[in-house]
Amino acid sequence: MIDDMLTVTKGIKRGALTFAIALVLLTGLTACSSDNLGDLRSYIDEVKARKGGRIDPVPEFRPFETAAYGLEGQRDPFTPSVLRKPDQVAASTGQGLQPDLTRRKEALEDFPLDSLKMAGVLESGNQRWAIITAPDGVIYRVRNGNYIGQNNGKIVEVTEQKMSVTEIVPDGLGGWRIRESTVALIQ
């Protein structure tokens, strides 16, 4: 029973202490506020006394005149203007220029050619290498014959200012064509 009384007494003391601290804090906060808002009130009165600005009226828009578009006698813009015969498509896909899809891919073929940067050139004897920085931050050393870019690009020349690449890209008609590209040295 004495323990219960001590517990109740501690609870009362703790509650009284919390109340006293809260009372002191509230008294301190009210002491910090002041009614010296004269400069704020005068500024508000000054702003309210200003003459309002003039807003221009909404401009009058002319109604849009619609035009009828007729396709009579014209070709459909969604069909190719030059139709290839099925035997021409088969000939371009079956033979002629094609990328070597069986060769082992090189590391720089994972990146688009325009994302690769030529940082420098190394030369030893008659061999010249281009120093390439990939988007992932890795630096590579490549030379003539290495493959680069996502379009079956093969390095054909490395000079002190640029690297020439021959890419094999789809021609849009089922075949392939060669596209020459360069990667210039970063200045």
Per-residue pLDDT of the chain (187 residues; tens, 9 = 90+): 555 555 656 667 788 889 889 888 887 777 666 667 788 888 999 988 888 888 888 888 888 888 777 777 787 777 776 655 555 554 555 567 888 889 999 999 999 999 999 999 999 888 999 999 999 999 999 999 999 999 999 999 999 999 999 999 988 888 889 999 999 998 7
State the average pLDDT for the chain. 83
CB 107 within 8 A of CB 148: no
Establish if 161 belongs to a structural domain. Answer: yes
Establish if 171 belongs to a structural domain. Answer: yes
Distance CA 171, CA 178 (A): 9
Give the total number of structural domains in the chain. Answer: 1
Establish if 52 belongs to a structural domain. Answer: no
Establish if 74 belongs to a structural domain. Answer: no
Query: For the whole model, what pTM was predicted?
Result: 0.51
Distance CA 162, CA 164 (A): 7
Establish if 24 belongs to a structural domain. Answer: no
Establish if 88 belongs to a structural domain. Answer: no
Full residue range of the structural domain in which residue 158 is found: 107-184
Tell me how far the alpha carbon of residue 146 is from its chain's centroid.
Answer: 30
Model confidence pLDDT, tens digit, residues 28-75: 777 666 667 788 888 999 988 888 888 888 888 888 888 777 777 787
- Enter the tokens of residue 167: 């890419």
Domain CATH for 143: 2.30.30.830
Establish if 81 belongs to a structural domain. Answer: no
Establish if 128 belongs to a structural domain. Answer: yes
